[in-house]
Amino acid sequence: MLDVGFSELVVIGVVALVVIGPERLPKVARTMGHLLGRLQRYVSGIKADITREMDLDELRKMQTKIEDSVRNAEQAAHNEATKAEAELRTIAVGMGKPDPEPTVAPEPMAMKDEVPGAPAASSAQPTSPQLELGLEAKSSTDTDGRP
């Protein structure tokens, strides 16, 4: 940063002692130390912000590259699937079979917890383990176990 040697510091100290005086010199030195500490913290904060922004910029560039490669791979897979479907149609037509129905993409699942192939839960009728087993629920008055 600054090239200040020991001899220059001694000269600055002597001049400060003469100009400021021995009574106020410790207070001025303490104030200068606090200000220098604030300046160093401010500069290090700015350096950290610049580094963070540079890293964030690099991450954004990497994200766009990955998104582009995923998009390209998806497009290539779609093209290959379309080619394979067209080839299968030509083979089916060549064998004398009727033209098969075009494939339809499955509908997205409405709920994340829903399992494919499992019956959908109806909100109109509450389900309980007793109803699923065909048992009737006991009334609240039959707590002693009598039928």
Domain limits, the chain: 8-99
Q: To 5 degrees, how large is the angle CA 65–CA 105–CA 119?
A: 120
Q: Helices in the chain by DSSP H: which ranges?
A: 6-20, 25-94, 129-133
CA dist., res. 28 & res. 34, Å (int): 10
Note the pTM of the prediction, 2 decimals: 0.42
* CA pseudo-torsion sign 72, 74, 76, 79: negative
* Residues 6+ positions from 16 with CB-CB distance below 8 Å: 25, 28, 29
CA dist., res. 44 & res. 37, Å (int): 11
Of 2-6, 27-31, 33-37, 68-72, the least confident = 2-6
Give the pair of three-digit tokens for residue 36: 């220098």
Average pLDDT over residues 81-95: 90
Query: Looking at residue 102, what is its pLDDT?
Result: 57
* Residues 6+ positions from 27 with CB-CB distance below 8 Å: none
Of 42-46, 47-51, 87-91, the least confident = 87-91
